[in-house]
Amino acid sequence: MLDIQLLRKDAALVAERLAARGFAFDAARFDALEAERKTIQTRTQEAQSHRNSMSKQIGMMKGKGEDTTAVMAEVAGLGDELKQLEERLAALQTEINDFLMGVPNLPHESVAPGKDETANVEVSRWGTPRNFDFAVRDHVDIGESLGQLDFAAAVKITGSRFSVMRGGLARLHRALAQFMLDTHTAEHGYTEVYVPYLVNADSMRGTGQLPKFEEDLFHVPRTDAEKLYLIPTAEVPVTNLLRDEIVAAESLPLRFVAHTPCFRSEAGSYGRDTRGMIRQHQFDKVELVQMVRPEDSYAALEALTAHAETILQKLGLPYRKMALCSGDMGFSAAKTYDLEVWLPAQNTYREISSCSNFETFQSRRMQARFRVGQGKPELLHTLNGSGLAVGRTLVAVLENYQNADGSVTVPEALRPWMGGIEQLTPA
């Protein structure tokens, strides 16, 4: 959520900056709503104040045993008008809030303008894609011929966009997650957290998935009041750890890492990446989350991105770092770097991590704050990034480390988590 003070001061400027990301901000509507809100709120508060002082007077008079019928008759007539004002004000505030909840974050000044991913800027590139002296196969062929990747079984058990792994491949998947967790906790100063995979609507609103993107989420019905959602990323439960909290400035920065499954309905992606493990309804991810002081957040974004890059480097996977343009960023982000890993079978780089600074966009929704000494609470800045998406990392390892005989070499860095296994071979 944007700062409403900024909107009041200069809605036109906000509209201009949002246009850069393809969002049409209706400044006229906002101004109109605000104008009415201001009038109604002032009148409501005056009426409330009047009623309060009259009621107080009745209390005082009764305390002294005086007759109050005259005053009570006077205040009795106030009820209807006050109720109407209060209802109108509540409706207006709901409307303004709904309106604001649907407005995306402002892009940071360093973000390149652009309509879509074609305007993203390549920041750097690491590693050299390997030359294969045999026909490369994609991860589906590799995994299935190993007898360790089974989409047919997943379709039977659940449906499309799920997978079953067995044996060494299942272990490789687990090893990847543990390798990532151990690296981030031991080398990058993150605290490992275990969190719920089902969250309530308030949490989804806090990080920005709701109200706008409900169709992307799976949910568990129950009653409306207690409806729960499956997390699309650990960002949701982990960032919401700070919702409605005020932490001491000295405790910042907070750095959390969590390994969780993620669930996405993939509504609107029919026909895209239907083959293999690239786009699944359920996938594992190791997520990095930071809460920092505002002045530190852009340095933190660079650091967090570098933490994710470390994983790719240790695994020897070639990748490139992209700075997303204004039109390609997610709803809540002020600035985003994507890391794209080289996939030989697709002969291209594919997203494997997305690292963003949300500034106060999430913390304002969540009222996640910090306090310097005895000072006023201030909104902190939140960041997160994949460190990394485990499923896609598995795909990258299979494809980049495949051998002519159909086996797959286990990257050196993973071997401590593989119980000495150096190669995946058919069972």
Give the chain's radius of gyration (CA, Å).
27
**Does the footprint of RNA cover residue 45 (CB under 7 A)?**
yes
Q: Which is nearer to RNA, 115 or 227 (CB)?
A: 227
**Does the footprint of RNA cover residue 157 (CB under 7 A)?**
no
Tell me how far, at minimum, the Cβ of 78 lies from RNA, in Å: 7
Backbone angles phi, psi at 320, to 5 degrees: -135, 155
| 211 prior amide bond cis, ω within 30 | yes
In three state form, how does the secondary structure of 15-52 look? HHHHHCCCCCCCHHHHHHHHHHHHHHHHHHHHHHHHHH
| Residue 29 is among the residues annotated as catalytic for this protein | no
For 226, counting Cβ atoms within 10 Å of its Cβ (0-12 exposed, 13-18 middle, 19+ buried), the class is exposed
Which residue stretch of 220-228, 327-335, 349-357, 381-389 sits at the interface with RNA (rule: CB under 7 A)?
Answer: 220-228
| Residue 255 is among the residues annotated as catalytic for this protein | no
For RNA, the binding residue among 80, 225, 250, 270 (CB under 7 A) is 225
Query: Residue 32, by phi and psi: left (phi above 0), alpha (psi -120 to 50) or beta?
Result: alpha
Cβ pair 351, 139 in contact under 8 A: no
Q: Select which of 86, 144, 214, 351 is catalytic.
A: 351
- Six-digit token pair at 199? 């969250």
Q: Hey, how many other C-beta atoms are within 10 angstroms of the C-beta on 24?
A: 8
d(CA 138, CA 275): 10
Cβ pair 90, 3 in contact under 8 A: no
**Does the footprint of RNA cover residue 62 (CB under 7 A)?**
yes
Q: Locate tokens 């209706």: which residue?
A: 26
**Does the footprint of RNA cover residue 9 (CB under 7 A)?**
no
d(CA 204, CA 210): 5
d(CA 161, CA 156): 12
For RNA, the binding residue among 32, 42, 123, 372 (CB under 7 A) is 42
Q: Which is nearer to RNA, 105 or 280 (CB)?
A: 105
For RNA, the binding residue among 29, 38, 115, 156 (CB under 7 A) is 38
Fill in the amino acid letter for 219.
H
Tell me how far, at minimum, the Cβ of 373 lies from RNA, in Å: 7
Tell me how far, at minimum, the Cβ of 48 lies from RNA, in Å: 4
3-class DSSP assignment, residue 336: strand
Q: Locate tokens 């933190």: which residue?
A: 300
β-pair type (254-263, 282-292): antiparallel
Which residue stretch of 39-47, 191-199, 328-336, 341-349 sits at the interface with RNA (rule: CB under 7 A)?
Answer: 39-47
Tell me how far, at minimum, the Cβ of 293 lies from RNA, in Å: 16
**Does the footprint of RNA cover residue 369 (CB under 7 A)?**
yes
d(CA 266, CA 263): 9
**Does the footprint of RNA cover residue 226 (CB under 7 A)?**
yes
- Six-digit token pair at 240? 């919401």
| Residue 174 is among the residues annotated as catalytic for this protein | no
Tell me how far, at minimum, the Cβ of 330 lies from RNA, in Å: 24
Q: Which is nearer to RNA, 193 or 247 (CB)?
A: 247
**Does the footprint of RNA cover residue 374 (CB under 7 A)?**
yes
**Does the footprint of RNA cover residue 55 (CB under 7 A)?**
yes
Q: Which is nearer to RNA, 69 or 131 (CB)?
A: 69
| Residue 415 is among the residues annotated as catalytic for this protein | no
| Residue 145 is among the residues annotated as catalytic for this protein | no
Q: Kindly state the number of chain residues that form the binding site for RNA, as judged by CB under 7 A.
A: 35
Tell me how far, at minimum, the Cβ of 163 lies from RNA, in Å: 25
Cα 272–Cα 278–Cα 280 angle in degrees, nearest 5: 80
Which residue stretch of 24-32, 164-172, 371-379, 416-424 sits at the interface with RNA (rule: CB under 7 A)?
Answer: 371-379
Catalytic residue ranges: 264, 279, 351, 354, 392
Binding residues vs RNA (CB under 7 A): 4-5, 38, 41-42, 44-46, 48-49, 51-56, 58-60, 62-63, 72, 75-76, 78-79, 223, 225-226, 246, 367, 369, 374, 376-377
